[in-house]
Structure 1
Amino acid sequence: MNQPMFRRSLLAATIASVMAMPAYAQQEDSSTSDELKGLERIQVTARRKTESIQDVPVSVSSFGAGDLESVGVEDITELQQRIPNATIQVSRGTNSTLTAYIRGVGQQDPLWGFEPGVGVYIDDVYVARPQGAVLEVFDIERIEVLRGPQGTLYGKNTIGGALKYVTKELTGYNELSVQGTIGSYNQRDIKISGQTALTDNFYVGAAVASLNRDGFGEYVNTGEENYNKDLMTYRLSAKWLINDDMDLKFSYDNTDDSSNSKGGYRLLTSAVTGQEPYADVYNSNTAMPVDNTVETEGWSLTYNWNINDDWAFKSITASREGYTNTNIDFNSTGEPIFMVPAIYEDEQFTQEFQVSYSNNRNFDFVGGVYLYDGEACGVFGTVLPMYLAALGGVTVDNGGCVDTDSLAVYGQGNYAISDDLTLTVGGRLTKDEKEADVFRYTYLGVHYINQDPNADYGTPFAVNSEFTTKADWSKFSPHVALNYKLSEDVMVYGSYSNGFKSGGVDMRADQSLNPTINEPYDPEIVDTVEFGMKTELMDGRMRLNTAVFYSDYQDMQVTVQRVVPAGISSQVLNAGESTVKGFEFETVFAATDSLNVTAMLGYIDAEFDSVIYTEPATGDTTDVTNAWSFQNTPELTYNVGFNQTFDTSFGQIVWSGNYAYRDDTQMFEAPSALDQEGYGLLNTSVVWYSNNSNWSVGLHGKNLTDEEYRVGGYNFGPTFGDDAVVGYYGDPRTVSLAVGYKF
């Protein structure tokens, strides 16, 4: 039954407070006393098998469901504060599109057809598109974040790392959980989840969440809300225990985000309207409707067969699709100067067959075949009513589709050379094939493509692009690691990993400005060497994990956009050679029976070694090696916190707090006015748990000092008569009260 046990020795309480240390707290046997016995064993599946986090020669952080709920974590972007050298944020101008970077590798541009650098997985199902990937935290078992290339077991688009979202397992027990939350800006959330057994061997479960909040600001000229939240999500699941050795699990999820589109904050005074920057960074103006829709859904069917004591087989069949219809006013003045309505659509089908072997002595193995078939389509209009006003304005429609077929064969084995020394060897052979259709038409006059995508706007004034291109790439990604147990509580390891991220086609391609832009850009390659140590000290009261890494980053894909007289020139540049190096430090310490202290520190030095930029309009080349820097990669990140437990006659009270700091962050490849200076966020929570473990009441305060910090923006200087330098910001200070009941 779902009866959480809140004892002073629980690491869950530690992570519930500050989340600075990776942890997934497993409940101890009921015979364990309330005396401090040390930190709990943390289980992860980073290597596609269940094992202790201290035995895995991989940099991995893990957060349990209770831990996340206890500090009021609402979605996965809040994990950014708890993971070293990571950026996990909502993308510019959106509500639910994900920008994810780990160790300097990621995807800044969420345009359809581009590949992420950090792979997102829902129950081992790869999510190819960032739209709708800001996953809400509800009805989960844990979230794992793997740092560094995971090219062997997780595939081609995990060269920065992988984020694994693991939903709650069906157990057959009768469970029902209800939680309601109210808070700042009229927050009104309700989450309901439960499960039961229909027969002795057939279980079903369901979860639903309605998440609502007024805007942090407003569109001043229309009175509409800005930065509001209006989201509904639900999940259905079923599990059939076919016999003692086989089971079949079905899962379906659906999310509908109807929050308003986000308006940017102007950093400069408008040359057209004279509008100066507002005092409130969440205020904006718009000349467009603020309607916005993001819909995602997916299903998966997982079959497990324990063939015998040594061999097991797994099949994961899955399909996902998404739809986005949104509007972005780049100038944010209220005047119709530079507006972009857009539609994104995508669908994917994946099939993975996996075998595993373990003789429970000195060797185990995981291997399989992975197939991916996906289509990503989109269209957006650059609407310029005041540009060439004598001709009624100009509209540039840009769109197309990318079809991707990918086949991979992978395997990884662990061989215990001795009781203390283990060798890991793995590899993955991937072949990607892509075919892209791209168009870019210029029309005289104004229209909104997302109001009627099938409308006939007549003969375009100019055909800037109209082509079909295809390409394929093959890559073998090896991995080797050696880990040695210096003692029962100390393990050291060294590893080499290779990561591969597919090439592609710039869907903004304008051949009239760049005649060769129909040629696909190349894949990215990352080679990483890592050395680490995982320790448990002071009779198990302290856990200390450290890692140092060095990465050779080749052909980094950088999206470069420039304003030219004929419009916006775009290209994806393979930015030569780069070097990324740094270290990570994570610790949790049970200082007393009731006080825990945590700390996390990440340092990264990422720089370009050689980059030559070619101006598409003129063909001129410039060495920008010393002018460019890595995006979304602060040099220093850290988090410190505490967790204090008080036992009372009416239940247990847990008081926690943490401070998370991020160093200066550059938003684009070149310095700009949008770059964010270093800042820190201070959070605290007070949670009461009833003696019978049924009731909980949590008071959560986030960003208590009301820090103002940018997480994205658009940076176009003089553009069609005005500028478009606008920023988007993280959440202000919020306070929420959550009441939960489980039975």
Structure 2
Amino acid sequence: MIAKTQALRLLAAATALTAFAAPQAGLAQQEAAAAASADADTGEIVVTARRREESLIDVPISVTAISGDSLARTGAVDITSLQDKTPNMTLQIARGSNSTLIAFIRGIGQQDPVWGFEPGVGLYVDDVYIARPQGAVLDIFDIDRVEVLRGPQGTLYGRNTIGGAIKYVTRRLGHEFEGKFRASYGSYNQRDFIGSVTVPLGEMVSVGGALAYYKRDGYGKNRFTGAEHYNKDVLAGRLSAEFTPNDQLSIRIAGDYTRDNSNPRHGYRLLPNGAAADFLPLGDVYDTRAGVGDDNKVTTKGVSGTIEYALNDTLTLKSITAYRKGKTDTVIDFDGTPGPVLDIPSFYKDHQLTQEFQALLETDMVQGVFGLYYLNGSASGAFDTVIGNAGLTTLTSGDVDTKSYAAFADVSVKLSERFSVSLGGRYTSDKREGTVYRADYLGLRSPLFGRPTAVPFRVRTDYTNSRTDKKFTPRISASFKPNEDVNLYASWSRGYKSGGFDPRGDAIFTPGTVNGYKPETVTAYEAGMKGAFLDRTLFVNVAGFYSRYRDQQVTTQFVSGTTVVSSVDNVGKSRIYGWELEARAVPDRNFQVQASIGYTDAKFQQFLTLDPVTLTIKDFADQRVFQNTPKYTANVSATLGHDVDGIGRFTFTPALSFRSGYSLFEVPNPVLDQKAYQLVDASIVWTSEDKRFSISGHGRNLFDRKYRVGGYNFPGALTGNSIIGFYGPPRTFTITGEVRF
């Protein structure tokens, strides 16, 4: 009830601000196309949610679109900032990680980053699917916009967009010389340097690149090793070339590279380690006394080629070819103490090749896209589970190879001036081959992690198996426009996430692990309204949704004997319903308001899994909850601008975001779960009259709220009562200067 009251108060504040802004209507019409302008996000927004450019109002999908300039103006460093601006979404850096992404939309997602598991929210960079969460915490540079598509997007975006999709769209080069350089300094000795340039080589070819370096001391320290903790050391870059010999043909080649040498993140102990209470970390929640070490390196890189050819005014052909690979070497201290109570040294590797062909149809009455898709990928890795109290180590290693084929189509037909329907479908065939090896060793560490003479005394899992899953995922929607600026829509769709093999599967404890787990599916219903009012100075989007979720893939880990075992179950069924409201008032360029509120009610109706006490399958539906799914999310921000002759333009943007309490795992834990909290940010920006220079100041989490974004839960004496938490950033201040040329 408290969380609901807080959310409603925030909505009331947003409504009051919007009401104050609305009567000042009249000046936004001339800026209707300036969605990503340097001054403000005003007027109508164009998105590519259905693989073609459309007004946001016309798209019968719940979409939040935020320009790169808007994110930069508010001091956003990476895409996790979208969580504070998007209803019913959780987007965070994964537990024990610096650059691994976890994403949940409307209760559906996946927080387990081990190889072979795939996310439930798809991430796309320039229409290239990013299959692995490692290295997916993308920094905000050289970016045009981000689109967040809520609800299953399997028809157009594939099998693992069962919860939704995030589209990260980089800037196109164009054919004019331009560049910019941005430097920032802030709290914890933050030093960021970002530069980009576009160089035209004649009238048909342009080349460009962007380079970003992020360096920051830690929010805390490892009180055992002395190393920085929660620090940042990231180098990222992109290169691209565009060739446009005529109005019909466009070719773009792009490459990117990211190297993250930030120290590993270890947790903060929430309970003492039995009698060893002095093992609790000193200082605040960003400190640790982890003894596993401070070595961590994550690299990701990729190259893509996009070719578009317009056969005529009606039909355009498009090809997207991409290759990506990544590697992670890290250590995770599950217990947060100097000793090897529960330590996990590990590495991950992955690579993927994707090819997509599209045919885009555009007439006065019919618009659509038809396509073929192919993915060939592999994810592998290994880790030791070092349990010092037992003097034992369990090595887990293996790989999962995936080949995916799909054909899809989505067609919208305008039946009249006001009424249109959209029909779509995707047929997907996934073949997955999994190899899992798991063995016990006496002593600490296995041959893969520093003890070459170690010999296993027991093999727990050793198999190679394959499975093929096939699924058709349709989508139907209808739109009615009572006038040009209002769209009423309803949709029905199905989403699908492929089955697979548990990389941690323990064949001694759960012999059925060798058969893998089944796909999960969702059937979603949505109805909503999108509209522009008051001479297009007030934009409102409202949506209600209901989903039936089946065969949800849930990972359960617990201590069995002298090791930690894992099982992945298709636990049964659940239902999810809720609503979202987004409002944006743009009466003029000097005053704007944006606000949103989301509500999600998710409940398990059946949760069948192994009872570790009785070793029988039991329905735990009345004891389980959805993880990372707050019931309420809300945000409100306002931008006030003022021009000073001869000096330039000043803007001030305060922002407030709210999340009600949520559980970090399906099993509620009052020690670990996060209570409701609010975050307050503020930014002030000066831009010169010629828009070449700017200076901005950003304060984030101004009231220094401490809030958990992840955790581990391994209670008991053998594992050192290891209940630990990971936290979002503290209060920070940053000043940034930028020059454009």
TM-score of Structure 1 vs Structure 2, range by shorter chain: over 0.9
Of the candidates 650, 653, 656, which is equivalent to residue 653 of structure 1? 650
**Counterpart residue number, 2:517:** 521
Distance in structure 2 (CA, Å) of the matches to 1:721 and 1:140? 44
Q: 2 CA distance for matches of 1:407 and 1:591?
A: 48
Distance 2:408 2:447 in 1: 43
Tell me, yes or no, if structure 1 residue 557 matches structure 2 residue 560.
no
Q: Does 1:263 align with 2:261?
A: no
Determine whether 1:573 maps to 2:569: yes
RMSD of equivalent CA atoms = 2.0
Where does 1:132-281 land on structure 2 (aligned, <5 Å)?
Answer: 132-271=135-274, 273-275=276-278, 276=280, 278-281=282-285
Aligned counterpart, 2:603 = 607
Instruction: Please list the CA deviations of residues 630-668 of structure 1 after superposition, one character each: whole Å capped at 9, or x if unmatched.
Output: 000000000012111111120000001011000001000
Distance 1:76 1:719, change over 3 A: farther
CA contact (8 A) 1:132 1:294 kept: yes
Q: What secondary structure does 1:461 align onto?
A: strand
The code of the aligned residue for 1:495 comes to S
Alpha-carbon distance change, 622 to 29 in structure 1, aligned in 2, over 3 angstroms: closer
Task: After TM superposition, give the deviation of residue 235 of structure 1 in Å.
Answer: 0.4
> Could you tell me how far apart the structure 2 residues matched to 1:529 and 1:653 are?
44
Match of 1:679 in 2: 677
Name which of structure 1's ranges 609-618 and 707-716 shifts more when overlaid on structure 2: 609-618
Letter in 2 for 1:723: N
Q: Is the 8 A contact 2:257 2:301 kept in 1?
A: yes
2:47 and 2:608 map into 1 onto residues whose CA distance is 42
> What amino acid maps onto 2:729 in structure 1?
D
How far apart, in 2, do the equivalents of 1:688 and 1:233 lie?
27
Cross-structure match for 2:531: 535
Query: Equivalent residue of 1:271, what SS?
Result: coil
Match of 2:298 in 1: 294
Matches within 5 A, 1:644-723: 644-649=640-645, 650-672=647-669, 673-720=671-718, 722-723=720-721
Match in the other structure for 1:499: 495
Contact 2:342–2:719 (CA<8 Å) still a contact in 1?
Answer: no
Structure 2 gaps, min length 5: 1-16, 19-27
Amino acid at match of 2:444: V
What does 1:41-60 correspond to in 2, within 5 Å? Answer: 41-60=44-63
Give the secondary-structure state (helix, strand or coil) at the position aligned to 1:631: coil
Change (3 A) 1:628 1:26: farther
CA contact (8 A) 2:77 2:140 kept: yes
Determine whether 1:419 maps to 2:423. Answer: no
CA shift digits 1:289-329 (9 cap, x unpaired)? 11100000000011111011111101111000000000011
Q: Alignment partner of 2:188: what SS?
A: helix
Identity of aligned residues (%): 43
The correspondence of residues 613-632 of structure 1 with structure 2, limited to 5 A, is: 613-615=609-611, 619-632=615-628
- Whether 1:731 aligns to 2:729 is yes
Three-state SS of the structure 2 residue aligned to 1:197 is strand
**Structure 1 letter corresponding to 2:97:** T
Question: Aligned letter for 1:527?
Answer: T
Q: Does 1:341 align with 2:345?
A: yes
In the superposition, relative to structure 1, how do residues 593 and 411 fare at CA in structure 2: closer, same or farther (>3 Å)?
A: closer
Q: Which of the numbers 394, 402, 405 marks the counterpart of 2:392? A: 394
Q: Residues 351-385 of structure 1: CA distance to partner in whole angstroms, max 9, x if unpaired? A: 001111112x1011201100000000000001223
Residues 75-107 of structure 1: CA distance to partner in whole angstroms, max 9, x if unpaired?
A: 000110000000000000100000100000100
Letter paired with 1:512: I
How far apart are the structure 2 equivalents of 1:644 and 1:197? 37
Work out whether residues 37 and 540 of structure 1, in 8 Å CA contact, stay in contact via their aligned partners in 2: no
Moved more, 485-494 or 431-440: 485-494
Give the letter aligned to residue 53 of structure 1.
L
The TM-score with structure 2 as length reference comes to: 0.93
1:556–1:29 Cα change, 3 Å:
closer
Contact 1:226 1:283 in 2 (8 A): yes
8 Å CA contact retained: 1:182, 1:738: yes
Unaligned 5+ segments in structure 1 are 1-13, 16-24, 388-392
Residue 118 (structure 1) aligned to one of 107, 118, 121: 121
Q: How many residues align?
A: 710
Report the counterpart of residue 362 of structure 2 in structure 1.
Answer: 358
Distance 1:253 1:272 in 2: 50
**In the aligned structure 2, how far is the partner of 1:438 from the partner of 1:556?**
22
Structure showing the higher helix proportion among its residues? 2
Contact 1:26 1:41 in 2 (8 A): no
- Cα distance in structure 2, aligned partners of 1:131 and 1:37: 33
Q: Is the 8 A contact 2:223 2:281 kept in 1?
A: no
Q: State how far apart, in whole Å, the 1-side matches of 2:466 and 2:41 are.
A: 57
Aligned to 1:4: none
Distance of 1:546 and 1:590 partners within structure 2: 18
Q: Is the 8 A contact 1:26 1:42 kept in 2?
A: no
Give the secondary-structure state (helix, strand or coil) at the position aligned to 1:516: helix
Structure 2: distance between partners of 1:622 and 1:608: 14
Determine the C-alpha separation between the residues in 2 that align with 1:602 and 1:517. 38
Q: 2:72 is paired with a residue of what secondary structure?
A: helix
- Give the conservation status (yes or no) of the 8 Å contact 1:39–1:542: no
Give 1:490 deviation, angstroms: 1.3
Between 1:620-629 and 1:543-552, the stretch displaced more is 620-629
Q: Partner of 1:113: helix, strand, or coil?
A: coil
Deviates more, 1:440-449 or 1:635-644: 440-449
1:336 is displaced (CA, Å) by: 1.8
Query: Per-residue displacement from partner, 1:122-145 (whole Å, max 9, x unpaired)?
Result: 100000000000000100111111
CA contact (8 A) 1:266 1:331 kept: yes
Q: CA deviation at 1:539?
A: 1.4
CA distance in 2, matches of 1:67, 1:563: 47
- Superposed displacement of residue 277, structure 1: 5.5
Contact 1:26 1:43 in 2 (8 A): no
1:83 and 1:521 map into 2 onto residues whose CA distance is: 32
Answering whether residue 304 of structure 2 is matched by residue 308 of structure 1, we say: no
Q: What is the match of residue 329 of structure 1?
A: 333
Equivalent pair of 1:38/1:541 in contact (CA under 8 Å):
no
Counterparts in 2 of 1:716 and 1:181: CA distance versus 1, 3 Å: same
Paired position in structure 2 for 1:20: none
Residues 202 and 436 (structure 1), Cα distance of their counterparts in 2 relative to 1, 3 Å cut: same
Question: Secondary structure of 2:81's partner?
Answer: helix
Q: Give the distance between the partners of 1:86 and 1:721, measured in 2 at CA.
A: 33
Contact 1:440–1:510 under 8 Å retained in 2: yes
Q: Aligned to 1:79, what secondary structure does the other structure show?
A: helix
Confirm or deny that 1:633 pairs with 2:607: no
- SS of residue paired to 2:514: coil
What is the CA–CA distance in structure 2 between the aligned matches of 1:347 and 1:678, rounded to whole Å? 39
> 1:278 deviation in Å?
4.0
Show CA shifts across 1:31-76 (max 9, x none).
9xx9x99941211000011111011111001111211111111100
Distance in 1 separating the partners of 2:338 and 2:366: 66
C-alpha displacement of 1:445: 1.9
- Whole-angstrom distance in 2 between the partners of 1:82 and 1:449: 46
The answer (yes or no) to whether the contact 2:681–2:699 under 8 Å persists in 1 is yes
**Cα distance between partner residues in 2 of 1:609 and 1:703:** 37
Report the CA distance between 1:429 and its aligned residue.
0.2
8 A Cα contact 2:33 2:45, kept in partner: no
CA shift in 2, pair 1:411/1:27, >3 Å: farther
Counterpart position of 1:284: 288
TM-fit CA distance, 1:720 = 1.7
